[in-house]
Amino acid sequence: MKPDAAPEASAGAAAGTPDGAWLRVHPASPFVRGWVALAALGFFFFRDSFERVLRGGPLVDDQLAGRAPWLLLGGGILLLLTVLGYILSWYYTRYQVAEGYVRLNTGFLFKQQRQARLDRVQAIDIVQPLLARIFGLAELKFEVADAGESAVRLAYLRMDEARQLRAAILARAAGVVPDPEHPGEAAAEAPEHAVLTVPPRRLAGSLILSEQSVGVVLGAIASVVLSAVTENRAFYLYLIPAVLALLAAYWSMFNKGYNFTAAISPDGIRLRYGLLDTQAQTLPPGRIQALRVSQPPLWRIFGWYRIQVNVAGYGAVGSDGGSSRTTLLPVGTFPDVLTVLSLVLPDPGTPDPARVFSAGVNGLAGPGVFPADAVISEVPAVPGTDDGGFVTTPRRARLLAPLGWRRNGFMATDTALLIRSGRWWRHLVLVPHQRTQSMSLEQGPLARRFRVVDLVLHTTAGPVSPRLIQAGLDEGRALLDAQAARARAARKRQTSEHWLDQVRALEAEPTRTEEPNRQDNRQHG
């Protein structure tokens, strides 16, 4: 069905419109998107007159008085063409939610159609730039599995319409079948329960103690030393752009992380944040490909951590929205880390997740030696080490990483592979078994001499790069085979594309495993 021949419908019925109806975005959308062009036109035509008025001069210069009508005519024509282009852009922008797809048609001269399968939706965002917030509008953007270039963006809808449409898309993506007696009934937004918030004072403190601050302080010390040695004060000038860049980075991170709130709902993990430009993300369960918990050195003073994720569809860190969209927790305490991990991985696959995750984030191998078959049997550490069962770099390779060889290690639970690294900048990477796409072993000349190897797990683009550093050669080879087997088994258990079916399967799994245990107890009893 062609969009032009499709039945007309207003945007207000977006959530409750039957399949097949093509809808338009809000009429003010092109003006909200293109206000910069209008401001540029006004600046170009009226800058001189405005400056003369400020200086107390006439509105129109005598030299331009004769050409003023022609300038006004040219400016009016240009403004009219710009407004006409906006109107045509709005008129030829239509979207449709039908037959398991969401489709977006745009373009007057050069037409373009984007579509995405609802059951492949990775995440849904509601974005409100400052000007859109003033007019009560919002942009609805949802990602699919082929990176951010294919994101479908509906800009702009009224805020209540965006929420209703998001609820409808999430319901269809979850495989919820609409009521046949009420096919046009709008889907109700799923309730949510807030689990954590980030206080503004903690966010500001984390920025002051961030890596950028350390770099500026070191640069300032170097400038003072060089100025004292060379008696040349010009070195202080190099600090000016660094300080300005740091202030801009601080403002950007504070603006994006302000009022950060994480909540859980039946349709996924909901994140809200932003001071001037607000954003509301919805990550369906199971869409997170990899997760990293990190702790800069200065954050240890207060026990703060950061959590970032790879989500299929978000692409690289710097694309379309920066790193804020890939941040599950900008700064939080260890209980906050455990809370977020419980949302991402409801089944940690270990009877003592707090001890395992604590060892992954803060653990350090003791003087004990792990058994060679720890990769396959997954036995705990030697008594006295209390390292949560992590297998670390062998002692023979300690010269390759004098500070980190007791930190670099891995552990596999029933549901995920945990990789930790870093003595000063601590990192814990978590990859669910079913999200393991491919793996490779890498070994350089020095690593070959010390019989160690790096294991690289390939995942979607994002800030997390899962890499096990300097594992023993035998342990690395065994882990490669064991992880491949675990990934195959996990993907077989996940047979549905609908995330709601996956959640139901996880909820029902303990019930299925209880009966064999009861039978074994009866046999041995």
**pLDDT for 435 beyond 50:** yes
Does residue 231 belong to any structural domain of this protein?
yes
Confidence of residue 186 (pLDDT cuts 50, 70, 90): low
The mean pLDDT of 347-352, rounded to a whole number, is 90
Dist. CA 311–CA 325, nearest whole Å: 9
Assess whether 490 and 511 both reside in one domain.
no
Considering only residues 227 and 248, tell me which one the structure prediction assigns the higher pLDDT. 248
Q: Rounded mean pLDDT of 398-414?
A: 92
Spatial contact of 26 and 137, defined as CB atoms under 8 Å apart:
yes
Rounded mean pLDDT of 289-308?
95
Range 142-151 average pLDDT: 62
Is residue 428 located within the same domain as residue 480? yes
DSSP secondary structure string for all residues of 276-320: SSEEEEEE-TT-EEEEEEEE-GGGGGTT-EEEEEEETTT-STTSS
% of the chain beyond a pLDDT of 90: 34
Residue 410 counted as domain residue: yes
With a pLDDT cut of 70, the percent of the chain lying above it is 71
Q: Are residues 428 and 486 in the same domain?
A: yes
Given pLDDT bands bounded at 50, 70 and 90, which one contains residue 374? very low
Closest CA to 27 of 142, 141, 135: 135
Cβ proximity of 11 and 26 under 8 Å: yes
Mean predicted confidence (pLDDT) in 332-359: 92
Tell me whether residue 158 is in a domain. no
Whether 120 is in a domain gets the answer no
Q: What mean pLDDT comes out for the span 340-364? A: 91
Same domain, 349 and 382: yes
Same domain, 510 and 372: no
Bridge-based pairing state of the strands 409-412 and 8-9: unpaired
Q: Are residues 437 and 521 in the same domain?
A: no
Grade residue 522 by pLDDT with cuts at 50, 70 and 90: very low
Residue 32 pLDDT class (50, 70, 90 cuts): confident
Q: Which of 257, 274, 300 is the last residue of a domain?
A: 257
For range 90-118, the mean pLDDT? 85
Kindly state whether residues 448 and 518 are assigned to the same domain.
no
Confidence of residue 488 (pLDDT cuts 50, 70, 90): very high
Task: Report residue 246 CA to chain centroid gap.
Answer: 23
Mean pLDDT calculated for residue range 177-202? 76
Same-domain pairing of 336 and 458: yes
Question: Which residues, at least 6 apart from 211, have a Cβ–Cβ distance to it below 8 Å?
Answer: 296
Contact 163, 157 (CB under 8 A): no
Could you tell me if residue 59 is inside a domain? no
Spell out a b/e string for 73-89, using b for 16 or more CB atoms within 10 Å of the CB, else e.
Answer: eeeeeeeeebeeebeeb
Check whether residue 487 and residue 503 sit in a common domain.
no
Residue 185 lies in a domain: no
What is residue 235's predicted lDDT score, i.e. its pLDDT? Answer: 67
Task: Judge whether 336 lies within some domain.
Answer: yes
Region 455-484: mean pLDDT is: 93
For the cut 60, the answer to whether the pLDDT of residue 318 exceeds it is no
Residue 321 sits in the same domain as residue 360:
yes
Q: Report pLDDT for 382.
A: 37
Number of structural domains found in the chain = 3
The whole-model pTM stands at 0.77
pLDDT at 515 over 90: no
Q: Which of 241, 257, 273 is the last residue in one of the domains?
A: 257
Mean pLDDT of 510-516: 39
324 and 415 in a single domain? The answer is yes
Look up the domain containing 469 and give its range.
286-494
Q: Average pLDDT, whole number, for the chain?
A: 78
Q: Distance between CA 18 and CA 96 in Å, rounded?
A: 10
DSSP 32-88: HHTHHHHHHHHHHHHHHHHHHHHTT--SS-HHHHTTHHHHHHHHHHHHHHHHHHHHH
> Are 214 and 295 members of one domain?
no
Q: Please indicate, yes or no, if residue 306 is contained in any of the structural domains.
A: yes
Q: Which residues contact 76 (CB under 8 A, 6 or more apart)?
A: none
Q: CA 451, CA 430: separation in Å to the nearest integer?
A: 25
